[in-house]
Amino acid sequence: MGVLWYEASRAALNIAFGLFITASVMRIYLHPGTISAKIKEWGRSLRRCLEAFAGVTAPLILLLAMLGVMVNLFVVSGWMLKLMGILATIGEFHVVALIGMGFLIGVFLGLGIPPSACYILSAVILIPPMTKIGINPWIAHFFLFFIAVISEYSPPTSLVAAVASRISGASFMKTMMVTLQISLPFFFLTFAIFNWDILLLKPGLSQVAALGVLVVGCSTAAAAIHGRLFERKSHDLALRFLVLLLALFILFYPKGILSALALIPALVMIVLVIWRTGKTSVAS
């Protein structure tokens, strides 16, 4: 795609054919015996490959088809777009209400359409009231883009979790909830973008510095959510809650010397959580 400028589907097809031919040649060459025995073994390997592929993809296709039927009930009927228009009108009364309505609209649209279409429809519905209330168009577009990404794996119709759970053999619901838990810091980043307009509107060294602060804030939030500091659960939860508050302060209060000083304990907590988690993993 990057060198020959092929389309994604054509590039994937060419790679698949290339890997198939390479694997077949290696299988025939490495298998001992006569040419006839090599070809027979290649045929048996191909049959096992097709059977395994069918065993994995057939239930997955059925699951995706059922999800498609369910979400099309919301989308094809057209009532969702009408509902989204009403919600956008409600959100025009206050900027916080409009941001909240934007999040709900993006998630609802993501139930039945891919991220690109979700972003486009959300932008058509929400960008006019957002710009009217004073939000910069660049920030509004990035906010809706992040929501479109979130809608791809958010409950209850997470296609990403459906594919991952089928491949791994895990529970669909458990995979979906774990995916959501892992991505919680990304939720904070989605809303923090309104306070960090410098990241989009002012290119230069200040933009790089803002990116570094956001990385520290999201990493601190991830450490608070997924890390472990104490063996005793009550002490561990209390300290992790304080670390989470520190992360939220960094992400949502980008002003003054306090914001800069907050980075020091945040970095200490990130290193401490990584060290403690690694120590616990080795001990177990």
Instruction: Give the pLDDT confidence score for residue 171 in this predicted structure.
Output: 78
Q: Could you tell me if residue 15 is inside a domain?
A: yes
Name residue 190's amino acid: T
- The average pLDDT across 110-123 equals 73
Q: What is the pLDDT of residue 149?
A: 82
Is 17 domain-assigned?
A: yes
Q: For residue 182, what pLDDT is reported?
A: 82
* Domain span including residue 233: 195-284
- Identify the pLDDT of residue 166: 73
pTM score over 0.85:
no
Q: Which residues are CB-neighbours of 141 under 8 A, at least 6 positions away?
A: 123, 127
* pLDDT (0 to 100) of residue 266: 86
Euclidean distance between CA atoms 39 and 22, whole angstroms: 15
Assess whether the previous peptide bond of 203 is cis (omega < 30° from 0): no
What distance separates the 2 farthest-apart alpha carbons in the chain?
Answer: 80
Residue 98 lies in a domain: no
Domain count, the chain: 2
Classify residue 39: in a domain, yes or no.
yes
Q: Classify 110 as helix, strand or coil.
A: coil
Compare 146 and 69 and report the one with higher pLDDT: 146
Q: Do the domain assignments include residue 228?
A: yes
Angle between helices 115-133 and 137-151 (to 10 degrees): 150
Instruction: Tell me the two tokens of residue 3.
Output: 């060198």
In a domain, 120, yes or no: no
On the CB side of 114, CA atoms within 13 Å amount to 1
Distance CA 184, CA 174 (A): 15
Residue 199 lies in a domain: yes
Residue 245 lies in a domain: yes
